[in-house]
Amino acid sequence: MADVTDAFDRASDAVGEARESGEVRESLGARALGGDDRGQLMLVAALAIAVLLVGLALTLNTAIYTENLATRTTDTNLDGAVTHGGAVEAGAGAVLDETNREGGTYGELADEFDETFGNWSDAAATLAAVRGAATDAERVSHVRGTRISQTDAARNFTDRNETADWTLASDVGVRGVRFNVSRDSLATSSGSAFELVVDDGSDVVEAELYQNTTQGRVFVTVVDAGGTRTTCSVAADAGDYVTVDVADGRLNGTACDPLDAVHTDLDAPVTVSYRNAAAAEGSYELYVDETNATVFDATKYEPAGSGSSPVAQEALYAVTVSYVYESGETYVSREVRVAPGEIA
């Protein structure tokens, strides 16, 4: 790359020569400049300006090159930080749900989460060190909630007293709504099908689950807040179980776009209800952000540890975790709220 200092020195010399020439003429008195003199002065001035412009261009190019190099380096390090942040959120979410499924008091659940997530963080730090990064993560706080579930796959979705139309929880945030349903138990038309109903007080979204034995398919039909009906379906043989992940918008692992209305059309708090619950058998779970003391109703739920279904029990609805990522000159420290599959 050209020496920028030399360029400016040459420019200074040229300007100096022009100034010196002017001083000589001034000392000679009032002699007028001739055509050759004016031409020479204009030529020197033009050369000086040209040299200055070249020097400025070289300086700008050097600055741009240096900035681009620094930006590429920073982007690479930030990519690692972003990737690690996503891994922390996913890891904390998986640990959270597994901890809740094991059961326990709120204190026991928090302790179990801390231990398991601490082990996860240590393992992640070991892997990050191989790439020249230092990481750490830990729980900062949590939100107490309730896990509502059924593990008896041979039972229908009615409440403890076998009520087919019932409300699971009112005025709550809800996440992680998942079903594993026997195809053979499903109604053969939408009119008598099992329905999940989510109502935020202003808008309602309904999701029906039914089968068509002739086609060998299971259908999910969603009525959104505007009253529009849309449907998705998957093939399912007799004896099969079909999964419905409302949070991820998937039917048997396949994208089911109509389920997006549960996310887009509603705002928490909501009321969660089942209709025609006798028209579906299998297992399910969901989490709400009210304590079990508020949600549990002995006319609807079995107590935790009873071996019967459905159950409402203490759970951690959400956790806030902090993480640190350091690599080279990049240092990222963040807190993130983790509530897997939150829909409202």
Write down the mean pLDDT value for the chain: 85
DSSP letter, residue 165: S
Q: Determine the average pLDDT of the residues in 218-235.
A: 98
pLDDT for res 329: 85
Residue 15 has pLDDT above 50, yes or no: no
Q: What is the pLDDT of residues 173-213, one digit of tens each?
A: 999 999 999 999 999 999 899 999 999 999 999 999 999 99
Phi then psi for residue 224, to 5 deg, are -80, -175
Residue 280 has pLDDT above 80, yes or no: yes
Kindly state the tokens that stand for 44. Answer: 């020197």
Could you tell me whether strands 330-338 and 282-288 are parallel, antiparallel, or unpaired per DSSP bridges?
Answer: unpaired
pTM, entire model:
0.78
- Among 73-87, 89-103, 212-226, 320-334, the minimum mean pLDDT is found in 73-87
- Please, what is the Cα angle at 283 between 290 and 257, to 5 degrees? 80
Q: Distance between CA atoms of 206 and 271, rounded to whole angstroms?
A: 12
Q: Determine the average pLDDT of the residues in 51-74.
A: 41
**Helix (H/G/I), strand (E/B), else coil: 240:** coil
Burial class (CB within 10 angstroms; exposed 0-12, middle 13-18, buried 19+) of 268: middle
Residue 31 has pLDDT above 90, yes or no: no
Q: What is the pLDDT of residues 139-166, one digit of tens each?
A: 999 999 999 999 999 999 999 999 999 9
Which candidate, 166, 21, 32, 149, places its Cα nearest to that of 97? Answer: 149
pLDDT band at 79 (very low <50, low <70, confident <90, very high): confident
Q: What is the DSSP string of 119-183?
A: HHHHHHHHHHHHTT-EEEEEEEEEEEEEEEEE--TTSBS--TT--SSEEEEEEE-EEEEEEEEEG
pLDDT for res 44: 46
pLDDT for res 324: 97
DSSP letter, residue 148: E
In the chain, % helix, strand, coil (3-state, to 5) comes to 40, 35, 25
Q: What is the pLDDT of residues 129-141, one digit of tens each?
A: 999 999 999 999 9
Q: Determine the average pLDDT of the residues in 223-249.
A: 97
